[in-house]
Every structure is written in structure tokens, then in C-alpha cells.
A = this chain, B = another copy of it.
């Protein structure tokens, strides 16, 4: 019984010769390729924290949250100007206006900005305002889009599809690399499983983190917000991801000062700035402990 389309990690040299450790001699065994976004270094010594609102809903809300993100010690700002929503009748994002707000928030805080692009025709526009493209889960295998961001020569955050295997994910990244752009950061964001919806939104699949690191030199981070869908789980999920080897986090935050505090999407998974500060503090303490251990050795 032959089964069509079956692939295995042993097929990675064929699927993604540019990104597979097994075929690309440019990177040493233990090494991660550092992806630089402004002064932020993915795959460097310290895990990167990206935080911000789910969607850019207004200038006021975005600036408010951006200041909180900056104040918490996080490294980068996230926020959706173009939002992929299950229904066309849901809020679709502010588009260009949202990009401008993000740019302003970035200038004010000094934080680089990552935002989602869904349309190959908008890659140029988004590139003008953002420091890093995000390819969302639903578009992980949107190959024309991947080719376009590959050509745009800006760093790309490639989220894993909700049901993508490792080979499919790295194959998608290879589309970007194939255009000459190796500035790719991978992001695990929870997978579809039988238990979704009973106690969490998706299932955070941390096993994939060391597998990614074994097979490629690209940095890999985690999205504890979408992977759990429950605000009260985000801090634990963040720490777990770091301990399992994630080189960064991307987290949804809501300001609790704003009157219009209820975000238009995914309210149940946004954490407060206070929780964000605790996560950053966890990283601080961890880095200190690592440094001491290095000194002691």
C-alpha cells in the first residue's frame, strides 16, 4: 500500500536544502543564524519578547499599549493592521491607517514593529511601515505571498500552520530563503488537536521547538497567546516555551487603563501589562542565572 505525499524529516535535505542543517554547510552544528531587526537579535544570547495588541484599533489604544510594552522591558511591538478573520463581517483591521499608527508607536517608543501581511500586492506597502513581516498561520502555505516577502528583503516571522508538520513548515520557509532572504524567524503558535475548545484554544506543541533547532539554523519563538487562548495560561506557557528552547515570545497585551479596554478580537487571551512585566522579569532572572553559571564554570 503506497501512500502519496508522505514525507519524513529524512526528506528535509530534498525539501529545504537551503535551510536544512544536513545540507547547508554555512552554519555550524550548535549555531543559530541570528536574525537582526533594528537592534533586536533573534537567536542571540537573550530571548526576544514581542508584545502588543491583537489588532490596531485606534491611535490612542495602540500608543497606550506600545508605551506599556516599552515600559515592561519588551523588545518589539506587534499589532495587526490587516487581520485575517473567520468571517468577512468581523473587524478586518484598519489597513494603511493601522500601519501608520504602528509606525508612530514605533517612533515614539523606539521599538521595532512586526505586523501581518496577507496579500502579495501589499508587501511593498507593509514593508514601508514595518520592520518585520508576519506571515500568519492561515497563510503559512500561501506560496506567492512567501515568494513576495522573500524578495522584499525584510525579516519575516513565519508562523506555523495550525496543522502543519515540521517538513511542511520548513518547506514553507524554504520558499522565502529561495528568493535569497534568510532572515526568517519561525514561530510555534499552537496546533489543532482533539482537545481544542475544551480547556484551551489550540494545543501548544513545544516538542517542535527542539526539533526545529535540530533540523535548521533558523531561530524559533513561541506565541503563548494563540496557543492557549486563555489569558491566565500565557505566563506559564511563556516560561515553558523558554525552558524548552524557544528563542523568543510573541504575546498579546491589552491596556487596563483604557476605557475601551475590551479589544475587538481575542479579548480572552490578552494579558495585562503587569503580567508582561513578570514575563520579562523571568527572562532577566534567567539570563542572570545563566551568566553566573558561565562565570562559575
Do residues B245 and A236 form an inter-chain contact, with CB atoms below 8 A?
yes
Q: How far is the CB of A167 from chain B (nearest CB, A)?
A: 7
Q: Which listed segment binds B: A39-47, A65-73, A224-232?
A: A224-232
Of B161, B171, B207, the contact of A237 (CB 8 Å cutoff): B207
B192 and A163 contact, CB distance less than 8 A: yes
Of the residues B144, B171, B195, B289, contact of A86 by C-beta under 8 Å? B171
Query: Closest B-chain residue to A197, C-beta based?
Result: B6
Q: A191-B203, A240-B240, A268-B3 are in contact. Are A166 and B87 (CB under 8 A)?
A: no
Give every chain B residue within 8 A of A227 (Cβ-Cβ).
207
Q: Say how far A231's CB is from chain B's closest CB, in angstroms.
A: 8
Residues of B contacting A204 with CB < 8 Å?
205-207
Tell me the bound Cα distance from A171 to B89 in angstroms: 9
> If the complex has contacts A163-B194, A165-B198, A203-B191, are A118 and B142 also in contact, measured as CB distance less than 8 A?
yes
B16 to A87, Cβ gap below 8 A? yes
Rounded to whole angstroms, the CA-CA distance of A15 and B192 in the bound complex is: 20
Does any Cβ of B come within 8 Å of A121's Cβ? yes
A109 CB, min distance to chain B CBs, angstroms: 26
Within the complex, the shortest CB–CB distance from A142 to chain B, in Å, comes to 5
Size bracket, chain A contacts? 35 or more
Residue numbers in B under 8 Å from A162 (CB-CB) = 163
Residues of B within 8 A of A203 (CB): 191, 193, 203, 205, 207
> Could you give, for residues 262-297 of chain A, a 1 whenever the CB lies within 8 Å of some chain B CB and a 0 otherwise?
000011110000000000000001000100000000
Also in contact, A236 and B208, with CB within 8 A (given A162-B163, A193-B203): no
Min CB distance A268 to B, Å, is: 4
Instruction: Determine the residue in chain B with the shortest Cβ distance to A206.
Output: B240
A210 at the interface (CB under 8 A from B): yes
Q: Which of B196, B211, B228, B289 contacts A285 (CB 8 A)?
A: B289
Contact of A1 among B139, B147, B205, B214 (CB under 8 A): B214
Residue A110, interface by CB 8 Å:
no
Say whether, besides A203-B191, A269-B4, A144 and B166 are in contact (CB < 8 Å).
no
Q: A3-B199, A9-B198 are in contact. Are A205 and B193 (CB under 8 A)?
A: yes
Which of A's residues lie within 8 Å of B, judged by CB?
1-9, 14-17, 84-89, 118-122, 138-139, 141-145, 147, 161-163, 165-168, 171, 174-175, 178, 191-201, 203-211, 214, 227-233, 236-237, 239-245, 266-269, 285, 289
Closest 10 A-B residue pairs measured CB to CB? A163-B163, A199-B211, A239-B243, A138-B141, A240-B240, A4-B268, A200-B207, A119-B144, A192-B194, A4-B269
Extra 14 A-B pairs, beta carbons < 8 Å, given A3-B230, A86-B171, A191-B193: A1-B211, A15-B89, A89-B174, A138-B141, A142-B145, A161-B163, A162-B163, A163-B163, A166-B199, A193-B194, A203-B205, A206-B236, A240-B243, A289-B289
